[in-house]
Structure 1
Amino acid sequence: MSTITDPAFTGTDDAHETITEFTRFALGGGVPASLDFNHTSMRIARMQWDDEREGDIYEPNEACDLAGWLFIEPIRDRIMADTINATDDAGTYQQVLAGRYEGQPDWSRVDATEKLLFKILTYTPTEDRAPLYYFLGFLSWYRGQAPLAAEYVDKALKVDPGHRISIAFAH
């Protein structure tokens, strides 16, 4: 029996295409290197996630844009790390992603991000949910909720059996 939250899809019929097109558009500026925090796409994605984290999603396209950023690996990793600690220090960033960060996560930021992820899920069709489930698993793992994290990773793999980071996390 699953204990994870899986909101019903309430988005538009063209949500998958919107996410796909946004991701293609965002990749038009090239894929940033994982530590290139000043790359234009990286800065825009971080700013958009920061703005929405404390606000509310008023249009399905906003949610699709936020989901689209998570399909770009270095941006997804940066957004995930930002949730725990938003410093631009490369060492701290790498520690956060490796689960070796010794500082105190910003729990209010984690809570706000988790709420945002659930909002995004409602506008995201099933076939595009793997990065969102993985992100929720990452946050659950950081909270010390390993069984819940494993459920989210399993859910990501059910949606997308080739979701590489979920495969790595599951092993």
Structure 2
Amino acid sequence: MEAAAWGFVGTLVGALASIGTSWLASRSAATAQREKVHLEWRQQHREFQIKAATELQEILVEFARATGQIRHIDEMREAEGKTGKSQIDSILSELYSQHIRRINVLLGRIDSQAVQGAFADVKKASIEIAMGIGISTKTMLGFSDVIEFAGVALSGYLKSIYETELSV
């Protein structure tokens, strides 16, 4: 009878060891799966940030060009002696508005306060230029500096993204 008792104890210990091993393996697999999903999410987030920042760089150049064109139209009006509200070409005006909307959408996707702040300055300066007649050369040079600062902020943000390692 004693052998049967030891056999039962052995079976019980073996079953508990098997359950423990299964639990540890299951836990380890679940942890590995969570880490894999988290890494994939970080990779997708990184790609999303790169895409948004790259698009923002492209739109920044187009936006600066549209703002410069608006300023050029205003200068031509001033040279002709026209005063009052600027009559910007409707296509250029719509292009400018599209750029503002696109910048706002892309900025909503960017996780950088430095970029957000730089583009707030860009929008403020561009609105002053687009809405006013008699904008000075100093204002236009300031706008150029603001555009350059926004470009530098975007480049710095992209650099920080590329330098970040995405290991598990």
On whether the aligned pair clears a TM of 0.5, the verdict is no
The structure that is helix-richer by fraction is: 2
Q: TM-score, normalised by structure 2?
A: 0.34
| Greater relative contact order structure (CA < 8 Å, 6+ sep) | 2
Pair member with larger Rg: 2
